[in-house]
């Protein structure tokens, strides 16, 4: 198990180096480009297989215990160790990362985004995967920071080199926001390590903040929280996200929404809750307030974008929906209760599956139709997917109803548990305030249903989204095709696992909650 976890983290890095080397003569296939894309599928597939093997070998009877641990000294002078391990909190995120990266590589094997050589593209995807997997596997604060930063450069280049319109501006906003947040976070991590006498997360969690003064905890939570909130993304530190999603290639958007955003919320649960409990307790109501503002803000922006003649972009709308959905994750964390934190972790996984699927689908619509502009996709001259590509339209409708939290699908349980946690927050938190937050979040679910159903009506049925009539071409755009290619074999292969897991998680939530709950209970007790 130790070797398995280390291999999961290191193999993508080795694969990235190999991707930049010339392909052996017998493996070139039709062209060097095809060979390197096949290499990406092979490496990510191997990482996924190792992740599934790790999950199968995991002791499910004791998910609160750190398993597959490696702990060796790296920089003795600073007390920094190579400490790896997984528990019920990190294991689902590891498997989700491996799955989404494999599906992205599989999709790109056939539908490579326009841009420079595939060699650099595959290498960047693999470096991104390694950094993300390391973020969920390391148990040393400095290693966490290094892994947290490791993903920024690959995503910057994926947006800047393979993105669409406005890609350079979007890439710069992404890197500047996240780097500035990371600088502040590093100061907080150093403060904890110096005052606590160690950078080891397990040792610090076991101390449960006893070695840190109240003032130290407050400063650390504020500094680390800002860095994590940028990545989460929490309102009002979210403004880099819509541009990044809109400009990114399809697989870039899938990985950004499905994997990278989870690193921020994971940091709240793994670092702040057990290591700085007093500081988190002080800031929890403010975190909850920002979370519910994000829920309402994201939903209102999506409603505005979905409106007829608003010039809304479907990719941008899905990006803003992430602000709202991640607001539920932050609200669950801010309750400081097992129910709320379990709901946050469940919502994390559900968001990765559902929003990853939605970005795949939107990318497919854009490839077929040449645009993701909602006004051009709606009306009599628009996509009308139910008639022109019924399987694609059905999948888009499925993704929309899963995103709005339909009972029986994965999106329902995380949001419900987050609101249940707000109904009875941790001792010492104002229940009237949290009841207010719960009511606002509940209203946000209604707004989510409204804009998602409008999108389905306009894109799948061809309605204008307001009056129900049909409109002609928009702005003199070229006539729409009478039929569109429906779901292709490679798309079916890339999307089916996300659909199946969304249904399974919705029908059998205990499979995931049984993993996370014992680990969450232990984290909230300070690792004891």
pLDDT at 439 over 90: yes
**Structural tokens at position 450:** 């409204």
Q: What is the dihedral of CA 119, 125, 128, 130, to 10 degrees?
A: -90
| C-alpha–C-alpha distance, residues 417 and 395, integer Å | 26
Helix (H, G, I), strand (E, B) or coil at 210: coil
Residue 56 and residue 383: Cα distance in Å, rounded? 43
Distances (CA, A) of 314 to 88, 111, 245, 318, 375: 35, 20, 11, 6, 10
Residue 446's φ and ψ, nearest 5 degrees, are -65, -40
Task: Average the pLDDT over each of 289-293, 358-362, 387-391, 421-425 and give the range with the smallest value.
Answer: 387-391
Whether the Cβ atoms of residue 143 and residue 134 lie closer than 8 Å to each other: yes
Report the interhelical angle of 410-423 vs 431-455 (nearest 10°): 160
Helix (H) / strand (E) element for 84: namely strand 80-86
How many residues does the structure list for the chain?
A: 528
CB neighbourhood size of 216 (10 A): 20
Section 246-273 average pLDDT? 88
Task: Give residue 36's pLDDT.
Answer: 85
Helix (H) or strand (E) segment spanning residue 105 = helix 90-110
Q: How far apart are CA 321 and CA 298, in angstroms?
A: 6
pLDDT digits (tens, 9 = 90+) for 118-137: 888 999 999 999 999 999 99
331 pLDDT higher than 80: yes
pLDDT score of 464: 60
**pLDDT confidence tier of residue 26, bands split at 50, 70 and 90:** low
| Banded pLDDT at 357 (limits 50, 70, 90) | very high
- Note whether 42 and 48 are within 8 A (CB): no
- For 240, what's the count of Cα atoms within 13 Å in the CB-facing half-sphere? 25
Residue 2 is predicted with a pLDDT of 81
Please compute the mean of the pLDDT values over residues 7-29 and round it to a whole number: 79
- The 3-state DSSP class for residue 232 equals coil
The two tokens of residue 517 are 């709950």
- What's the pLDDT score for residue 38? 87
The pLDDT value given to residue 365: 85
Whether 474 shows a pLDDT value over 80: the answer reads: no
In this prediction, residue 214 carries a pLDDT of 87
Whether residue 50 has pLDDT greater than 90: yes
Model pTM above 0.85: yes
236 vs 383 pLDDT, higher one:
236
CA separation for the pair 313, 226 (Å, rounded): 29
pLDDT band at 477 (very low <50, low <70, confident <90, very high): very low
Positive/negative CA dihedral, 92, 70, 227, 132: negative
- pLDDT tops 90 at residue 467: no
Q: Checking DSSP bridges between strand 80-86 and strand 67-75, what pairing results, if any?
A: antiparallel
Say what the pLDDT of residue 476 is.
40
C-alpha distances in Å from residue 133, one per residue of 154, 168, 224, 478 = 14, 27, 20, 44
Whether 461 and 384 have beta carbons less than 8 Å apart is answered as yes
What residues have CB less than 8 Å from 282, skipping those under 6 apart? 218, 221
Mean model confidence pLDDT for the chain: 85
Percent of the chain with pLDDT over 70: 92
- Write the DSSP symbol of residue 313: B
Tokens representing 74 are: 């790296």
């Amino acid at each position: 198990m130790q070797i398995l976890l280390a291999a999961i983290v290191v193999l993508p890095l080795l694969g990235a180096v190999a991707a930049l080397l010339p392909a052996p003569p017998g493996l070139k296939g039709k062209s060097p480009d095809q060979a390197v894309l096949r290499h990406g599928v092979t490496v990510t597939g191997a990482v996924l297989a190792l992740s599934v093997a790790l999950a199968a070998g995991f002791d499910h009877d004791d998910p609160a215990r750190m398993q597959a641990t490696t702990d060796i000294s790296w920089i003795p002078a600073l007390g920094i160790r190579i400490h790896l391990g997984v528990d019920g909190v990190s294991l689902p995120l590891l498997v989700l990362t491996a799955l989404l990266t494999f599906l992205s590589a599989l999709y790109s094997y056939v539908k490579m985004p326009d841009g420079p050589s595939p060699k650099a593209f595959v290498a960047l995807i693999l470096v991104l995967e390694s950094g993300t997997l390391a973020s969920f596997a390391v148990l040393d604060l400095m290693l966490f920071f290094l892994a947290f930063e490791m993903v920024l450069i690959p995503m910057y280049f994926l947006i800047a080199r393979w993105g669409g319109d406005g890609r350079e501006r979007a890439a710069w906003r992404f890197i500047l926001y996240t780097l500035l947040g990371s600088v502040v976070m590093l100061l907080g991590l150093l403060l904890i390590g110096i005052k606590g006498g160690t950078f080891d997360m397990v040792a610090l969690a076991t101390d449960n903040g006893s070695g840190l003064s109240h003032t130290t905890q407050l400063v650390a939570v504020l500094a680390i929280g800002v860095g994590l909130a940028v990545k989460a993304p929490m309102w009002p530190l979210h403004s880099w996200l819509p541009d990044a999603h809109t400009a990114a290639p399809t697989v870039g958007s899938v990985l950004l929404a499905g994997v990278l955003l989870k690193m921020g919320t994971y940091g709240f649960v793994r670092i702040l809750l057990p290591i700085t409990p007093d500081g988190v307790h002080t800031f929890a109501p403010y975190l909850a307030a920002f979370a519910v503002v994000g829920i309402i803000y994201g939903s209102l922006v999506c409603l505005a974008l979905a409106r007829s003649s608003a010039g809304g972009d479907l990719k941008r709308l899905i990006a803003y929906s992430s602000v709202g959905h991640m607001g539920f994750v932050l609200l669950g964390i801010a309750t400081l209760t097992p129910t709320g934190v379990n709901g946050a972790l469940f919502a994390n996984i559900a968001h990765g599956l559902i929003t990853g699927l939605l970005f795949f689908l939107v990318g497919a619509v854009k490839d077929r139709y040449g645009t993701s502009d909602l006004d051009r996709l709606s009306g009599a001259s628009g996509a009308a997917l139910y008639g022109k590509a019924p399987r694609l339209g059905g999948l888009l409708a499925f993704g929309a109803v899963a995103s709005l939290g339909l009972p029986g699908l994965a999106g329902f349980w995380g949001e419900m548990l987050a609101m249940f946690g707000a109904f009875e927050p941790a001792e010492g938190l104002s229940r009237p305030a949290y009841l207010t937050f719960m009511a606002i979040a509940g209203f946000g679910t209604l707004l989510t249903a409204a804009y998602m159903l409008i999108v389905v009506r306009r894109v799948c049925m061809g309605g204008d989204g307001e009056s129900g009539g049909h409109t002609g071409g928009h702005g003199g755009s070229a006539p729409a095709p009478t039929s569109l290619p429906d779901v292709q074999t490679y798309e079916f292969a890339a999307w089916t696992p996300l659909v199946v897991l969304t249904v399974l998680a919705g029908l059998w939530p205990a499979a995931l909650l049984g993993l996370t709950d014992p680990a969450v209970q232990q984290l909230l007790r300070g690792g004891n």
